[in-house]
Structure 1
Amino acid sequence: MLDELDHVGPRLRAARQRLGLTLEETASRASMSASTLSRLESGKRQASLELLVPLTRHLGIRIDDLLQPETRDPRVHRPVVTRDGLTIAPLAPDSSAIQTYKITYPPTEKLPELRVHDGFEWVYVLAGKLRLRLGDQDLVLTRGEAAEFDTRTPHAVCAAGSSPAQVISIFNSEGERMHTHLS
């Protein structure tokens, strides 16, 4: 466990940098000086709960995330979900900033209702054909094709034709909530 304390600073720095935050703005929001945060990140100051709790809240991580061994199991152990005929298999840990899923769309005659919400989505077709209605565009993507779009544009996705479509979908957090969480 003592060896893990050596990694707290670099993990704090990595979490801050992943969010694109400066040392100064992070320190200010966590009610500490930039110098204190810099010393924490470099390992020159011992981490305490008093310092870590406001930092982890601001960075959207858990204190446990700072203490995880580097050799943690990389496998994703999240259940596959079936919703509205879709099979949604998570491919990233729940704590990941970007969520990735393998989604199987069943064949359907009818395009789902167009939706609009905050977020971005990236989709890659593994098998079958995927119909993507994006604003005025009505596209059919085939195996090996990809698309990226702003989900504030009215959109709907379904399998095209008589076979299921299997895709890899990548969402930022706003898009992920709308597409994968159960109501």
Structure 2
Amino acid sequence: MLHDSLMDSGTQSPRPARDIGTPDVGQRIRRLREERGISLSELARRAGVGKATLSGLENGTRNPTLETLWAVTAQLGVPLALAVGTGPVIRGTAVEGVLLQVFEDEAVTYELYRLTIPAGATQVSPAHHEGVTEHITVFAGVLSAGPQDAPLRAGPGEHLTWRSDVPHTYAAIGDQDVHASLLMRYPHR
């Protein structure tokens, strides 16, 4: 089923992925898609987003959710940073993050984020490309995160790691916002 934006399982509506306009994001996605020889229709189908949504994203007329950007970049086989750059706040339906740094080596790209998840909020994120892992350190609050069918739990000072090439969740448990760091590891294809 195609969606204009991927929704979480909670009651919140999707929020735009960035606080600023997206023409540069759309241009990057179009360039990455064209470099791979994938049509707009085919990428929309693979990512599970509407063709109009992807066209609007590429043309800078739509502000996608973070989940939509992750679905698209997963199908392109690239880290999110190649599409959004570093610095601005990016938002999912529950998770708010700031991409702080991108680290490259011969076989792997790492992205370091500062995350905030409001108390009681839940988000389901699409699978990233094969071999991607996520590593979260919680500084405040209690986090439930990991594969959708087997989430893990961590409190302040604790760490979670999982393969995120499957649908996965993030949830702030209890009445305190979660503050955490997220390190994403993308093996090069």
Higher strand share: 2
TM-score (norm 2): 0.43
Structure of higher CA gyration radius: 1
Higher helix share: 1
